Amino acid sequence: MTDTPSPADEPAYARVAFQGALGAFSHEACLALRPWDEAVPHATFAEALAALTSGDCDMALIPVENSSIGAVEPAATLVRESGLAVLADVWRPIRHALMSVEGARLADIRSVESHPIALAQCAATLKGMHLKIIEHFDTAGAARDVAEAGDATRAAIAPVGAAEVYGLSILRNDLQDSSDNRTRFLLLGVSQG
């Protein structure tokens, strides 16, 4: 007798909607929790949930709470009002990195952009850096835009993975104010009842 798993033991392939661009924290969470699935990016939380309810995606992975700032809005409200089934509930560590184009130096940076939730998690650290703060729809989207602009005075706050995706250099790791910064993600599916 062998220990080879049967096809019934293999995880089912699914499309999982998330909010953000490739390299976002939600994308990283999808890859960590369900690496066998296809992670499908959406610009907003509402669009990610609509992809699930329309049947375009089989599940959605949505952040609803952060240990530093509380509820992640509007995601928490959208999830609460959605009537969708919670398939899994997991807390993940969130580590913010400051990144810019190749060759940029920390002393060159004049502005930083990221999602408002990420900026709030780094507020005290950023205050001491005296940078112009620019809100963006997404952490990884901010990294993508900084890369495309090619401006060494602009930086993004995003996951380390976003620097790899968009070819940016990390200027500083662990920008978050709390060393125990964590976000609670819910894996959602359509209710079967």
Q: In this structure, what DSSP letter does residue 177 have?
A: S
53 is catalytic: no
Q: How many CB atoms lie within 10 A of CB 106?
A: 11
Residues 147 and 27: beta-carbon distance below 8 Å: no
In the set 18, 25, 45, 185, the catalytic residue is 185
Q: What is the DSSP letter of 130?
A: T
Written in H, E and C, the secondary structure of 137-151 is: CCHHHHHHHHHHHCC
Q: Which residue of the set 25, 45, 139, 183 is catalytic? A: 183
SS3 125: helix
> Is 18 a catalytic site residue?
no
Residue with token string 């499309």: 15
CA-based nearest residue to 48, from 161, 186, 149: 186
Q: Which amino acid is at 78?
A: L
Q: Rounded to an integer, what distance in angstroms lies between the CA atom of residue 186 and that of residue 121?
A: 20
Which residues are tagged catalytic? 183, 185
